[in-house]
A and B are shown apart, each in its own frame.
Chain A
Amino acid sequence: MPIDITMPRLSDTMEMGTVLHWHVKEGDEVSSGDVLADIETDKATMELQSFDDGVVQNILIAEGEQVSVGTAIARLLEEDEDPNSAPAPEAAAPEKAEPQAAVEEAQQVAQTPPPSTGGARVSPVARRLAEDHGLDLSAIQGSGPSGRIIKRDILQVIDATQETEAAVVSAPQSSNVVANVTPVQQPLAPTSPWQQDRTEKLSNMRQIIAKRLVESKQSIPHYQVSMTFDMDPLMDMRKALNEQLSATGIKLSVNDFLVRCCALAMAEHPAFNASFGGDCILYHGPVNIGMAVALPEERGGGLVVASLRNADQKSLRTISQESSYLAKKARESGLTVEEMADATFTISNLGMFGVEHFTAIINPPNSAILAVGAAIEKPVVRDGELVVGHEMSATLSLDHRVIDGAMAAQYLKTLKEYIENPASLLV
């Protein structure tokens, strides 16, 4: 039996995947463990390895093509399998009288992957009906137990499709009207070539950022609370520590201190290490700090959130080593799903760009995100005297379903104690 290679689900949130590059071509022999392709998921680019030995019979989607999880993307023939006996797309072709038509049909078949389920449960008759109507099961929501796709779900899709088709056919004239009033379809007349409007297809990452942040902003009742911190003690300590560590190559950043401060404060305020669960609040055990990392333009831009696990249990030195490793890896080769998963709180720091103050959108399922500005030298009042000192402003965005304003203030107060008395970070 030929083996279908399907688009794997490489992360919890992955629904679609893109084959960036095929490492094999049709007719190649492959062994278990060989890399077949590079797959771009919603956040990372990963290698797809073969689980079987065999010969690549068909490559079903082209490089750059995006398909749903579970869709067949290639087909392997097992060793010693006769390619002519397998029900392959090409095998059907020679029956046709006209060779040209046969080739075209074979190509069409090859480009239309068989309906797949993405591992979902499907009742047998629902599966048969979907096949009969050429429906992609991975795009259908099941209403049966455990999300099983049942006959009723398929019939609803068939009905809806027929209604849509009928509507499109019956309203050909109104489409002109729509075109006239839709500004997106009518770019302003360009006055010179470099003023041409252009559209760029969304990358996978841009799609997922768009989708998840709209969901976050629309479903979470956000509000913000800000506080300003005296950074002089922390800056002094950082300077002293970095001088002592200079021989080791370790250089503590302001952000490393903030990760530790936030993590310790979270251990004291469990609501900041929690997720809203519909009819409950889920308090997480481990304190994992997510660190937003902007990706360079040449890697397609966008951002990822690297996960610093058990940050409340780790020393400044460990945090520094881990965060610089993850940031470098994110920018250069990309993070694994594991390295991005399970953050329970996120820090977004634009201080290095000179930003003084901004607000961030919560990264679900977190309940809070801290937007950190730069530590800036400015005139400050200390003990009734006007002096020059470092101050930093940070703004929490909060999910009001989990955290109330007074709780946010308490958290910031704890954070302030850690930041302004940094010796406590060493123990």
Chain B
Amino acid sequence: MTVATKERVIEFRDALQEAMSEEMRVDKRVFLLGEEVAQYNGAYKVSKGMLDEFGPRRIIDTPISESGFSGMAIGAAMRGLRPIVEFMSWSFSLVAADPILNNAPKMLYMSGGQFGCPIVFRGNDGAGGQLASTHSWCVESLYANVPGLKMAIPYDAYDAKGLLKTAIRDDNPVFFLESERLLSTKGHVPEEEYTIEFGKALVRREGTDCTIISFGRPIHFCLEAAEELAKEGISCEIIDGRTIRPLDIETMIASVKKTNACVVVDQSWPFASVGSEIASQIHRYCFDDLDNHVHRVHSDDVPTPYAYNLEQAYLPNSHKICEAVRSATYNI
């Protein structure tokens, strides 16, 4: 047991690499493809050392053609392999919308169960830092709308590894949303093997006055806000949903029934978003427990600005979260 709890701190990107490498060692059907994943060790060094270990047949550099290599990987998945497709950024997945949205999530249904599609699409999602409007996409609200896929969005190194291993083992297409801003963050990742079940939210901070629900990078803003609000005597409970599909609404409901107030923080745009979906479900299941309507914090409803100060103001930052929590708890 002492071994199991030994502190081993590694970077988020290395946790991702460990997850892929471990799964590739035990399952010969698993392989990685994408732009610069092999010889360059990954545009963000996530696949460092993997070409050396697994060779060019399983770590495959592709042309700059998301639509082509995504479609090829989906074909491989239908024929029994288990591909991992790395998008340098989810912003680039938009040109592969037809294969990843129109083929992969529907294949099992359209083939009457003859063909599954066990595939992982992974890459950076959200504003990376002055990448401007077209390279700062948060795809979660856009893509989570599609039935037949799963979607995971890890916040720390531990979850990145545990959730990615589960994603690779899943028989359905999994959209795995990482953040460039989180890749170099460090966290405890045990030596021992573990996986994290999909649909199990994590209470990142316990509190009594307001439930804050979020996913991925904005969890960081939520934790900052909770520190600030604690100084004002407002106690926040932060729930990291971990996966958007499936959604652990039960854990969220239990928390809101306790706090009677709820703020949803979602880095996608506000209209028809993951945030609006969760708010709707909370209103439905917690109607008699709410002291105020569910408040939402999103990126502003504009294309992502390039200027540093505007980009910071655009994000669902801790200032906006504090305002929302104060309003939701009638502390304004």
Is there a chain B Cβ closer than 8 Å to A251's Cβ? no
Interface readout for B81-96 with A: 1 if CB under 8 Å, 0 if not?
Answer: 0000000000000000
Q: Is the interface of B mostly helix, strand, loop or mixed?
A: loop
The answer, among A123, A143, A152, for a CB contact under 8 Å with B290, is A123
Interface readout for B260-300 with A: 1 if CB under 8 Å, 0 if not?
Answer: 10000000000000000000000000011111100000000
Is there a chain B Cβ closer than 8 Å to A362's Cβ? no
A143 vs B289: C-alpha distance when bound (angstroms): 18
A123 vs B292: C-alpha distance when bound (angstroms): 6
Contact of B290 with A124 in the complex, beta carbons under 8 Å:
yes
Is there a chain B Cβ closer than 8 Å to A217's Cβ? no
Comparing A7-15, A21-29, A125-133, A345-353, the segment that makes contact with chain B is A125-133
The answer, among A124, A143, A152, for a CB contact under 8 Å with B287, is A124
Contact of B291 with A128 in the complex, beta carbons under 8 Å:
no
The answer, among B260, B292, B330, for a CB contact under 8 Å with A143, is B330
Contact of B330 with A150 in the complex, beta carbons under 8 Å:
yes
Closest A-chain residue to B293, C-beta based? A123
A151 vs B288: C-alpha distance when bound (angstroms): 11
Within 8 A of B (CB), among A120-160: 123-128, 143-144, 150-152
For residue A151, which residues in chain B have a CB less than 8 angstroms away from its CB? Answer: 260, 291
Find the residue from B289, B290, B330 having the highest chain A CB count within 10 A.
B330
Q: How far is the CB of B161 from chain A (nearest CB, A)?
A: 39
Q: Is the interface of A mostly helix, strand, loop or mixed?
A: helix
Contact of B288 with A127 in the complex, beta carbons under 8 Å:
yes
A-B interface contact total, Cβ < 8 Å: 27
For residue A127, which residues in chain B have a CB less than 8 angstroms away from its CB? Answer: 288
Contact of B289 with A128 in the complex, beta carbons under 8 Å:
yes
Closest B-chain residue to A152, C-beta based? B330
The answer, among A124, A143, A152, for a CB contact under 8 Å with B288, is A124
For residue B291, which residues in chain A have a CB less than 8 angstroms away from its CB? Answer: 123-126, 150-152
For residue B288, which residues in chain A have a CB less than 8 angstroms away from its CB? Answer: 124-125, 127-128
Contact of A144 with B290 in the complex, beta carbons under 8 Å:
no
A144 vs B287: C-alpha distance when bound (angstroms): 18
Closest B-chain residue to A123, C-beta based? B291
For residue B330, which residues in chain A have a CB less than 8 angstroms away from its CB? Answer: 143-144, 150, 152
A124 vs B292: C-alpha distance when bound (angstroms): 8
Q: How far is the CB of A126 from chain B (nearest CB, A)?
A: 6
Closest B-chain residue to A127, C-beta based? B288
Q: How far is the CB of B175 from chain A (nearest CB, A)?
A: 35
A303 vs B287: C-alpha distance when bound (angstroms): 48
Number of interface residues of B (CB under 8 A): 8
For residue A150, which residues in chain B have a CB less than 8 angstroms away from its CB? Answer: 291-292, 330
For residue A123, which residues in chain B have a CB less than 8 angstroms away from its CB? Answer: 290-292
Within 8 A of A (CB), among B300-330: 330
Closest A-chain residue to B257, C-beta based? A125
For residue B260, which residues in chain A have a CB less than 8 angstroms away from its CB? Answer: 125, 151
Within 8 A of A (CB), among B94-110: none
Closest B-chain residue to A126, C-beta based? B291
Find the residue from A123, A126, A144 having the highest chain B CB count within 10 A.
A123
A299 vs B307: C-alpha distance when bound (angstroms): 78
Find the residue from B287, B288, B290, B291 having the highest chain A CB count within 10 A.
B291
Closest A-chain residue to B331, C-beta based? A152
For residue B287, which residues in chain A have a CB less than 8 angstroms away from its CB? Answer: 124
A127 vs B289: C-alpha distance when bound (angstroms): 9
Q: How far is the CB of B22 from chain A (nearest CB, A)?
A: 46
Interface readout for A100-133 with B: 1 if CB under 8 Å, 0 if not?
Answer: 0000000000000000000000011111100000
Closest A-chain residue to B332, C-beta based? A145
Closest B-chain residue to A144, C-beta based? B330
For residue B290, which residues in chain A have a CB less than 8 angstroms away from its CB? Answer: 123-125
A123 vs B330: C-alpha distance when bound (angstroms): 12
A120 vs B123: C-alpha distance when bound (angstroms): 51
Q: How far is the CB of A144 from chain B (nearest CB, A)?
A: 6
Q: How far is the CB of A135 from chain B (nearest CB, A)?
A: 15
A144 vs B330: C-alpha distance when bound (angstroms): 7
Closest A-chain residue to B283, C-beta based? A124
For residue A152, which residues in chain B have a CB less than 8 angstroms away from its CB? Answer: 291, 330
For residue A126, which residues in chain B have a CB less than 8 angstroms away from its CB? Answer: 291
Q: How far is the CB of B323 from chain A (nearest CB, A)?
A: 15
Within 8 A of B (CB), among A142-191: 143-144, 150-152
A125 vs B211: C-alpha distance when bound (angstroms): 15
Q: How far is the CB of B303 from chain A (nearest CB, A)?
A: 33
A180 vs B251: C-alpha distance when bound (angstroms): 61
A127 vs B261: C-alpha distance when bound (angstroms): 15
Interface readout for A335-349 with B: 1 if CB under 8 Å, 0 if not?
Answer: 000000000000000
A407 vs B330: C-alpha distance when bound (angstroms): 46
Within 8 A of A (CB), among B134-185: none
A165 vs B292: C-alpha distance when bound (angstroms): 30
Q: How far is the CB of A335 from chain B (nearest CB, A)?
A: 42
Q: How far is the CB of A124 from chain B (nearest CB, A)?
A: 5
Closest A-chain residue to B256, C-beta based? A125
A126 vs B289: C-alpha distance when bound (angstroms): 8
Within 8 A of B (CB), among A261-300: none
Q: How far is the CB of A123 from chain B (nearest CB, A)?
A: 5
A144 vs B292: C-alpha distance when bound (angstroms): 9
A144 vs B332: C-alpha distance when bound (angstroms): 10
A125 vs B287: C-alpha distance when bound (angstroms): 8
A127 vs B287: C-alpha distance when bound (angstroms): 11
A126 vs B291: C-alpha distance when bound (angstroms): 7
Q: How far is the CB of B283 from chain A (nearest CB, A)?
A: 9
A143 vs B330: C-alpha distance when bound (angstroms): 9
Q: How far is the CB of B262 from chain A (nearest CB, A)?
A: 11
For residue B289, which residues in chain A have a CB less than 8 angstroms away from its CB? Answer: 124-125, 128
Q: Which 6 A-B pairs have the closest CB atoms?
A: A151-B291, A123-B291, A125-B260, A124-B288, A125-B291, A128-B288
Residues of chain A having any CB pair with chain B under 8 Å: 123-128, 143-144, 150-152
Q: Give me 17 A-to-B residue pairs in the complex whose CB atoms sit less than 8 angstroms apart, sorted by A's number.
A: A123-B290, A124-B287, A124-B288, A124-B290, A124-B291, A125-B260, A125-B291, A126-B291, A127-B288, A128-B288, A143-B330, A144-B292, A150-B291, A150-B292, A150-B330, A151-B260, A152-B291
Give me 10 other A-B pairs in contact (C-beta within 8 A), A124-B291, A125-B289 excluded.
A123-B290, A123-B291, A125-B260, A125-B290, A128-B288, A128-B289, A143-B330, A144-B330, A150-B292, A150-B330
